[in-house]
Amino acid sequence: MKIIKRVLIIAVLAFAVFYLIMRPEEAATAVQTAIGAVWGAGEAVVNFFVALAG
């Protein structure tokens, strides 16, 4: 099972590097989208606790 996990991680990293080299603009957009999603989720959690406290 460890070998499968290691192979999958290497494959994902290889794909990410390939994508970054071949399509840098699209890779940057994907990263910005992911960061925006995480930021939005964080804001939602903060808003929830503020509403809960208030």
Q: What is the pLDDT of residue 6?
A: 96
How many degrees, rounded to 5, is the angle at CA 30 between CA 12 and CA 19?
45
pTM confidence score: 0.64
Distance, in Å, from the CA atom of 47 to the CA atom of 28, rounded to the nearest integer, reads 28
Write out pLDDT tens, residues 7-54: 999 999 999 999 999 999 999 999 999 999 999 999 999 999 999 998
pLDDT greater than 90 at residue 1: no
Structural contact between residues 27 and 20, judged by C-beta atoms closer than 8 angstroms = yes
Q: What pLDDT sits at residue 28?
A: 93
